[in-house]
Amino acid sequence: MSTRKLGILGFGTVGSGVYESLEKERKRVETLAGFFTIPVVVVKDASKARATGPDTLVTDRLEALFEAEVDTVVEAVTDAEEAYPAVRKLLQKGISVISANKELIARHGEELHLLAAGSGSRLFYEAAVAGGIPILTSIRHTLKTNRILRVEGIVNGTSNFILTKMREEGTAFEAALEEATALGYAEAVPDKDIDGWDAWFKTTILSFWINGAGPEWTEERPQGIRGIDVRDLHLAEKLGGRIKHVASLEGTKASVGPKLVLKDHALYGVEGVNNGVYVEASLSGPLLFQGPGAGKFPTAGAVIEDVINHWTNTAEEEPPFTEPAPAEEEPFPYWFITGSAVPDELEPVSRIVESDGKYGAVVRRRPEGKALAVLGCPEEVLQPV
């Protein structure tokens, strides 16, 4: 068996985590997939000291990957547009790429898959959707005889941490965001997390993975968690629920935004920085995948699993387009609203609750403007008042 050559493009949290994990688990990896080397790490600033061994060249030259004749590259660049031309070139040259870059895959995945198919290379991205949770592999490999009827996920740990912190401790949004940034859960510029774009990209990937096509969005853009205050979270609690930032995909219909999750729903207990993905499958029924959605080593672990699956030829092929399961006409028959009053014409189906001068209720009719869809809400859960 020939020795595999792996290159790493980007050496931040994920890239360095992959390197450290591969060296730490070298004996196990080589038992599974054969001998390997990491001859090149490509970074933006090669003058900075990096924790690599003497046999690994650290350089700012992309061409070094081709000169070293690597067969596989881990792409761990944080900026999608910076990564795009490099990944294109690698795939065109027949070098397989394992990526953790959700924006890159969401925006350019279809084109990159075509490039890979034309050159005999492969493109993998398990870590791009839910960090350490193997949701893509599970759907493709262990649920391939099922029709995926619905996916609902908490796929952004930053938003989940902030909402949990606000609800449990009464922390204001800005203070919770500041703490998330200090702990490394949020980027220095956290807009894509808290405004919903991170979850939007991940939902796009899931739709292509399941249906072979992008989603039909119910809104032109995602809804984030700005504007949710502590009173909203307390009102939700009084009705037996929690506000979570949820990505939903039913058939090809998709949405991203805050939703009221009642106790009967599997996502109710997904707290803090954890991610959770709830899948309804035609044969297997309801399933919940839960765990760390980010972090250095959970994400690195998902990347390395893709590497080993590729090297051992155990990764599933990309499926052809399949007709998605039909979506219900009205997937969310109930809505949660808060404000200075709850109008009778919206047909409340819960008691009206109050928190510090703000009122809330679950209603049957969606009002004009902002309202949160309710998950885990069969008719018997909330009875008309």
Residues known to be catalytic = 202
Check: CB of residue 243 under 8 Å from CB of residue 260.
yes
Supply the DSSP symbol for 328: P
**In the block, residue with structure tokens 């761990």:** 76
Burial of 48 (0-12, 13-18, 19+ CB in 10 A): exposed
Q: What are phi and psi of 87, to 5 degrees?
A: -65, -40
Q: Which two tokens stand for residue 220?
A: 């032109």
Binding site, annotated residues for NADPH: 78, 102
Q: Which amino acid appears at position 305 of this protein? A: E
Rounded Cα distance between 161 and 174, Å, is 13
Q: Report the candidate in 316, 289, 244 with the shortest Cα–Cα distance to residue 130.
A: 289
Rounded Cα distance between 367 and 370, Å, is 7
Rounded Cα distance between 248 and 366, Å, is 18
Check: CB of residue 73 under 8 Å from CB of residue 83.
no
Binding site, annotated residues: 10-15, 78, 102, 187
